[in-house]
Amino acid sequence: MNRLREFLQSRTGRWLGTLISIICVAVFLVLLARSFSSDQARILVAGHWRSLILALGLYGLAYLPMVAAWIMLAETAGCRHGARRELARIFLVSQVGKYLPGNVGQFIGRAYAGERRNFRLAALSKAMVLELGAVLAASALLAAAAFALGAVSPTGAGDLSWPFSIALALATCVALAGAAMAFPTKDVQRPVLRSSLAAVGCYAMVLILAAAANVVLVSASLSHWTWPLVFAVGGAFVVSWLAGFVTPGAPAGLGVRELAFCSLLAGVVPGELLILSAAGFRLVTTAGDLIAWIVGLSIRRPSQTPQAIELTA
């Protein structure tokens, strides 16, 4: 741990962090260029630019509960209260790392940026464990609800909706319990569990807002919407998002989420429109994450460097 801290604070570590950030931005620009160069994206931008702006606004709103959850979990893990602006900056800047191959760049970025601002690496690591558990729990819970309510059914196994929902609900409990186990004592685990449950609610709101953005894009492609369509699109998005999140090595779930989303809605929405909507949402998320990165860089650092404290066992 000390060697890692020394490396992150060294000149080589600082240059490496800068290089990683530049690579992340380059990946963003490549994805944006590819999206704008495709005929389908041009059609989407030309015909449904208002829907794209609305979807981008919904995705931007999703960053509010994301940042709130991260700050709450970081404080619970031991980062000093009163450093919320710095914690928000760390989250927004490091989030671009999810586009790097491996799908772990955002966590490396949080550790690197937090260490440079003198947050203890142990506290940051625990916060990221809690974050991961809360994200998995929220997505599993919403996916379970989608299966249980019939908004989404396993391909070729519609009668297995309830077993799927029960399995995902159990995964929620396992994710929360596993995150709480990072803290050894019961007097610490209680506030950790409370914060984790609140974070689950925050991440559920994130997924609901992102699902709403997908509903906007699909409805714009179809030029109409109905409540069954809303539930089908929302359920398919949550399940496809979870599939992309748990797929090892997929940067930001790239490809996995689009394939799962189109497969789950096959027969409900025409295939060409599904591809168009999926491409539109990828464009929205890429642009939204880039804007969040810029906002994070614009947050001014406080004059005094915040120190971190560790929870005592």
Which of 73, 45, 27 is closest to 252 using CA atoms?
A: 27
Q: Are 120 and 308 in contact (CB under 8 A)?
A: yes
Q: Where are the domains of the chain?
A: 2-298
Structure confidence at residue 308 as a pLDDT band (50, 70, 90)? very low
Q: Residue with structure tokens 């009668």?
A: 159
pLDDT > 50? residue 70 = yes
pTM, to two decimals: 0.78
More confident residue, 179 or 263: 263
Structure confidence at residue 306 as a pLDDT band (50, 70, 90)? very low
pLDDT > 50? residue 196 = yes
Question: Over the stretch 198-243, which tens digit does the pLDDT of each residue have?
Answer: 899 999 999 999 999 999 999 887 877 788 889 999 999 998 898 8
Question: Over the stretch 25-64, which tens digit does the pLDDT of each residue have?
Answer: 565 456 555 545 555 556 656 667 788 899 999 999 999 9
- What percent of the chain stands above pLDDT 70? 66
Mean pLDDT of 3-25: 57
pLDDT at 299: 87
Mean pLDDT of 146-160: 63
